[in-house]
Structure 1
Amino acid sequence: MLPNQNPEFDALFDGMLFSLLTWEQLENFWGRLDVGAGWYLYALGETRPELPADGAHVATFLRELDMLLRKEHDEEYCGIVYADNLEQPSLIKIYDPNHLGTSCGSSKQKVLPGWVMSRMPPSDLDPSHHVPQNRRRWWQGIVDLLGGNERT
């Protein structure tokens, strides 16, 4: 079976992205996002979403993700969240603090983010590493917070 590909998504995913370097920038960025704008939430290693998440799921995801990033990326800076547009994003890559590799792309091996938020259906993305069970449990915990109604 061929992977599901979306050329528009692929162009944004592989295009120029801007980093949110500070925690304050990230906090402001999260605050500007329209949670009801039809975001596809994709945890790499899980099934690619067929439908956008509802606003409650997006808000829960952002809250829980922000807590996880601040806890596990114990740095004075953020620098692991990237967007195609910092004011009106269509695509956001969030790198897993426990699997950063060289997210800036300076190595020959491409490190995929842990999570992707997209305003368009994403292409299938196959992480080159094993996604740890604690990340899978974290994702399932978000799904469970919403009563198991996973639309992502």
Structure 2
Amino acid sequence: MSAFIDHFRGNFKSALRWHDLDNLWETIRNNNQGQWYAYHVGDEPPSEPISVDELETFITAIDELLHNEHHEDYCGIVYADDINHPSMVKIFDPHNLGVVCGYSDNPPLPGWILSTEPPENLQSAFPPPDNRRRWWQKLFNSM
């Protein structure tokens, strides 16, 4: 496994409450020297970090999306490797949560990743489980 994938599979802590998420964003903003990669899982991973201004735009937009589409009085769908000194943040799509906060052999991939190291293609690293692949193949082989 690569260093990025090992890091991705490591321990993460949730920004459980909305004020925890606000604090996480503030920590990232205060330590932003243009070293962050913003990766929308499903697209090709970026090869260059985003600018200071682009990170601010991303944080503002994703925060608005999460508040508008995650209709809970808590956040709980943003995870950082270290809440006080983050270098990787997983942001789950409110419309594709699956078993995010529990244990699962095949948890859903996050919708977005912020990372200070170049990201890798997560869909290639974590293909769908074999039972889904077999279902898909069976579906079209029977036609």
The TM-score, its normalising length taken from structure 1, stands at: 0.76
Tell me how far apart the structure 1 counterparts of residues 104 and 13 of structure 2 sit (CA, whole Å): 19
2:79 equivalent to 1:82: yes
Native 8 Å contact 1:92 1:116 kept in 2 = yes
What whole-Å deviation, never above 9, does each CA across 1:60-106 have from its counterpart, x for those lacking one? 00000000000000100000000111111110000000000001352
Counterpart position of 2:9: 14
SS in 1 for 2:122: coil
**RCO higher in 1 or 2 (8 Å CA, sep ≥ 6)?**
1
Counterpart position of 1:30: 25
What amino acid maps onto 1:82 in structure 2? Y
Tell me how far apart the structure 2 counterparts of residues 118 and 68 of structure 1 sit (CA, whole Å): 19
% same residue:
40
List gaps (5 residues or longer) in structure 1.
130-152
Counterpart position of 1:120: 117
Q: How does 1:1-152 map to 2 (within 5 A)?
A: 7-33=2-28, 34-126=31-123
What amino acid maps onto 1:83 in structure 2? A
List gaps (5 residues or longer) in structure 2.
129-143
Distance verdict in 2 for CA 1:105–1:49, change over 3 Å: farther
Native 8 Å contact 1:19 1:81 kept in 2 = yes
SS in 2 for 1:21: coil
| CA-atom RMSD in angstroms | 1.7
Higher helix share: 2
Native 8 Å contact 2:88 2:116 kept in 1 = yes
The TM-score, its normalising length taken from structure 2, stands at: 0.81
- Aligned residue pair count: 124
Extract structure 1 runs of 4+ deviating beyond 4 A.
none
